């Protein structure tokens, strides 16, 4: 571990109010490049170009797309007032990926241009039907408990960036916020360990996608010994489709660094406490990092680290002048 630094446990967030990665698959790197471009165009309010970038991404993936990317494509097309393309993405979600979050869809103002379309209410009805089918298999007491844990885990963490910018990285205010976070983490860990020890690593079919991610978040935010204990359980859960490969990649990276090794996927970011600048922790076989990231459904590293102001290029393999694609 480098000195004068603070470690960050990083999770990606997508821009259309979906806070978890779902339906992760092995997509080509070019797919992720198009998705990154689409995201940037959305942020720039160039919605039609964003929608086109999404379409190009789905094309190189032979018509496939992640749960999140399909939803966000619908957002871009709806904001661009291209309803046919928006509904095409939503239809894919409903038919192919069993999209069931009717409460979110109904309130998402990105979709406002679709509300008066005659296809909107029938679509909502089908989404709600998916929700009823999905929830029939849920353990609702656990779903509710994990929802509360998720909010406890995230609410204070969402304040970290603003508090650090206002008061500084070594400020009492930031230290106090971290103390409050650590206190909540301790309580949440007791609850999640009880769930894991009794039921194992439950999948989205039992606790929903958000509940499934909450298991990961709490263990990722726990101490080294706890992660060591549950990492094998999560590996098995990923093999069975009960946990997400991108989430496991983040936990594997953190465990590797804690063991004194280099990370594989470049997910762990540090911050120098003197300069405030962010950096990527050491990576094993760095020229092939993006190949490994693509294999587990993660975007290329150069796009991932832009949110911390890091400019990154994958290095060439030693002894060659060729860049790894």
Query: Based on the domain organization, do 18 and 111 belong to the same domain?
Result: yes
The pLDDT assigned to 307 comes to: 87
Shared domain for 98 and 171, answered yes or no, is no
Note whether residue 290 is domain-resident.
yes
Maximum pairwise Cα distance, the chain: 61
Cα separations in angstroms, 219 against 12, 75, 169, 191, 215: 17, 32, 25, 11, 6
Q: Is 104 a member of any domain?
A: yes
Whether 128 and 163 map to the same domain: the answer is: no
Sheet containing 269-272, strands listed edge to edge, beginning at the edge strand earlier in sequence: 5-8, 269-272, 278-280
Q: Please give the helix or strand (H or E) that residue 220 lies within, else none.
A: helix 204-220
Tally of structural domains, the chain = 2
- The neighbouring-strand residues paired with 270 are 7, 279
Backbone angles phi, psi at 17, to 5 degrees: 70, 20
Q: What are phi and psi of 278, to 5 degrees?
A: -95, 155
From 192, 219, 243, the end of a domain falls on: 243
pTM: 0.80
Beta bridge pairs of residue 271: 6, 278
If asked whether residues 107 and 127 sit together in one domain, one would say yes
- Do residues 179 and 79 both lie within one domain? no
Within a domain: residue 249? no
Give the residue among 237, 240, 257, 259 at the shortest CA–CA distance from 248. Answer: 237
CB 119 within 8 A of CB 85: no
Q: Domain check: are 163 and 124 in the same one?
A: no
Same domain as 114, residue 40: yes
Please tell me whether residues 151 and 106 are part of one structural domain.
no
In contact, 293 and 287? CB cutoff 8 Å: no
Domain of 156? 140-243
Profile the chain (325 residues) by mean pLDDT over runs of 10 residues.
37 35 67 92 97 97 92 98 98 94 92 97 96 94 96 92 91 95 96 98 95 96 96 97 95 96 97 90 96 90 92 81 50
Residue-wise pLDDT tens digits, 217-268: 999 999 999 999 999 999 999 999 999 999 999 999 999 999 999 999 999 9
């Amino acid at each position: 571990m480098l000195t004068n630094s603070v470690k960050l446990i990083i999770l990606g967030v997508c821009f259309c109010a979906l806070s978890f990665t779902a339906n992760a698959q092995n997509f080509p790197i070019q797919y992720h490049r198009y998705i990154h471009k689409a995201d940037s165009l959305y942020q720039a309010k160039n919605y039609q170009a964003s929608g086109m970038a999404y379409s190009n991404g789905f094309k190189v993936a032979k018509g496939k797309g992640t749960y999140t990317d399909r939803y966000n494509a619908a957002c871009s097309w709806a904001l661009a007032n291209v309803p046919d393309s928006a509904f095409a993405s939503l239809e894919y979600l409903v038919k192919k990926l069993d999209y069931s979050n009717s409460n979110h869809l109904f309130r998402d103002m990105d979709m406002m241009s679709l509300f008066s379309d005659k296809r909107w209410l029938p679509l909502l009805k089908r989404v709600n039907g998916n929700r009823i089918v999905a929830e029939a298999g849920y353990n609702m007491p656990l779903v509710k408990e994990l929802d509360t844990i998720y909010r406890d885990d995230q609410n204070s963490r969402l304040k970290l960036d603003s508090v650090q910018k206002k008061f500084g990285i070594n400020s009492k205010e930031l230290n106090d916020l971290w103390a409050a976070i650590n206190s909540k983490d301790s309580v949440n860990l007791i609850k999640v360990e009880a769930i894991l020890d009794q039921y194992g690593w439950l999948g989205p079919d039992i606790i929903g996608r958000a509940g499934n991610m909450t298991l990961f978040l709490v263990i990722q935010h726990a101490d080294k010994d706890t992660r060591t204990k549950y990492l094998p359980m999560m590996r098995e859960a990923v093999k069975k489709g009960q946990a997400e490969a991108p989430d496991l990649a983040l936990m594997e990276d953190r465990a590797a660094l804690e063991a004194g090794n280099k990370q594989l996927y470049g997910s762990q970011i540090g911050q120098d406490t003197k300069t405030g600048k962010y950096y990527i922790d050491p990576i094993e076989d760095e020229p092939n990092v993006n190949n490994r990231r693509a294999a587990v459904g993660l975007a290329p590293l150069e796009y991932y680290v832009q949110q911390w102001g890091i400019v990154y290029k994958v290095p060439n393999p030693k002894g060659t002048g060729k860049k790894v694609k």
